[in-house]
Copies of this chain bind each other. A is one copy, B any other.
Amino acid sequence: MHVDAIVQHLLDRQDEIVERLCTFLRLPSVSTDPAFIEGMRDAQAFLVDWLERIGLSDVQLLDGGGHPAVYGAWNGAPGKPTLLIYGHYDVQPPDPAEAWVTPPFEPTVRNGRLYARGASDVKGSTAIALETISAFLQIRGACPVNVKVFLEGEEETNSPSLRPIVQRYGDLLHADGMISADGARAHPEIPTINVGSRGIIEFEISIRTADKDLHSGRYGGAVQNAAHEMAKIISSLHDENGAIAIPSLLAALPTVSVSARADAARFPFDEDAFVKDVGARAHGEDGFSIRERLTLRPALDVNGMWGGYTGFGGKTVIPSTAHAKLSLRIVPGQDPEQVSDALKVHLRTVCPPDVQLSINDPETGSRAFNLPTEHPLVLAAKKVLSEATGQEPVLVRLGASIPITVIFQELLGIQTLMFGFALPDEDIHSPNEFFRLASLAEGLSAWPRLLEEVGKHSAEEFRSLSAAAEKA
């Protein structure tokens, strides 16, 4: 049966699909707050039941020490690619509850929008993925590809158990690629495919210039001041334009490709409005547009600094210690460890030898995410989206970090295509979160076609195309 019939089947049953999604949304699966542990357990039970009813096998909870992930597989397409299907069932807390027009866990449709905590992030798009698989199995008796559904329970708490789970269940999760229901669309009218995001490493540094804070009358003018020394260290990080001034940190960077710059230029982006909307001032590396600085170039920011007396009024001390928190957003081609070493060497070089410097080793840095633009997942998405919209999709890259993509790439060697249908204005993490019913329909049209498109490849072909794309 043609995929069009699958899509039509789904679109004919939108009321039923919304109803099922509402049942999912009524479960208050807030992962950040132990008071909601029942809501988490109810959501797990609901999903286990759902996956079993769809017809997935091996349905189980994958335990990594925290909230478990929910897993289920369909392996009925031998010789075809196997795709992990990622979603998450946990949601942000609903506070402030009184700011909601209708209660956060009582889903309500108003003006074509489904209001509920988690509707946009990301139960709505997760439901699209599950309904798609369900329709294939119900109508055709088979999916175009093998699928392994993986629904995380700690996305909203920075995924502390994700690495342990993926390591522990590596064999079970083995796949050729991943499609994620998470990752919002970048624009309401223009189809976009996310092919990159920056990685991040974080540091905290402290310096000491004396055993204790000293009286500025008794010592002022004759001894070092930790605040002055920290200011000099921080000042050494950037040039007068705000560009990173540590050559060793930029040395290993590949030149930004012409195509990546063309992608950046294609995405409609009002630079003036972007900066003015938050009362900020543009700043940064010469020779790059703001959009390029945000997505294609590394950024080093002091996230916090402090030293000496910071209370009310004056206190005439010479601070003996000063501190700074730093984060470095890194781009494809930068190795977190190498970059981290380069930053440490720089800090030790600029810090005067008689000032004690301690650098707390960064937690595991996160590599940049880079999905090759010729990857079969990207080509499949391009085809589906351009047919659906009549427009060539724009390849976009994010300035922020998506650790999940990097964890799966690192531990399972697979790429992730983000294929969520949320939009950026849907108040995720805020009161009155909503998901557009129009987006639900768009997703229900696109997901079956995407799986169908990927299923046109044999597993072998998919792997070799993937490998070729990585090398290019």
Contacts and interface: CB of A to CB of B under 8 A. Distances in A.
A17 interface: no
Given A284-B222, A315-B304, A228 B242 contact: yes
B303 A221 contact: no
A35 B299 CA distance: 55
Contacts of A204: 314
B323 A310 contact: yes
A60 interface: no
Interface in A265-288: 274-275, 278-285
Given A293-B222, A399-B217, A227 B302 contact: yes
Contacts of A400: 215, 217-218
A223 B319 contact: no
Contact of A221 (B224, B274, B280, B297): B297
A216 B327 contact: yes
Interface in A308-346: 308-311, 314-320, 322-325, 327, 329
Given A214-B278, A218-B399, A299-B216, A234 B227 contact: yes
Contacts of A215: 400
Given A235-B231, A278-B214, A354-B281, A220 B294 contact: yes
A322 B230 CA distance: 14
Given A200-B217, A280-B219, A283-B222, A319 B303 contact: yes
A398 interface: yes
Nearest to A362: B314
Given A228-B234, A228-B302, A278-B210, A284 B314 contact: no
Interface in A50-108: none
Interface of A: 198, 200, 202, 204, 209-212, 214-225, 227-228, 230-235, 237-238, 242, 274-275, 278-285, 290, 293-294, 297-311, 314-320, 322-325, 327, 329, 352, 354-355, 363, 398-401
B216 A303 contact: yes
Contacts of A281: 209-210, 223-224, 352, 354-355
Interface core residue of A202, A212, A215, A220 (most chain B CB under 10 Å): A220
26 contacts: A200-B217, A210-B278, A210-B279, A219-B280, A221-B242, A223-B275, A224-B283, A225-B302, A227-B234, A227-B304, A228-B235, A228-B238, A228-B302, A235-B235, A281-B354, A301-B316, A301-B318, A302-B308, A302-B319, A303-B314, A303-B315, A304-B307, A305-B322, A306-B306, A306-B310, A310-B323
Contacts of A398: 217
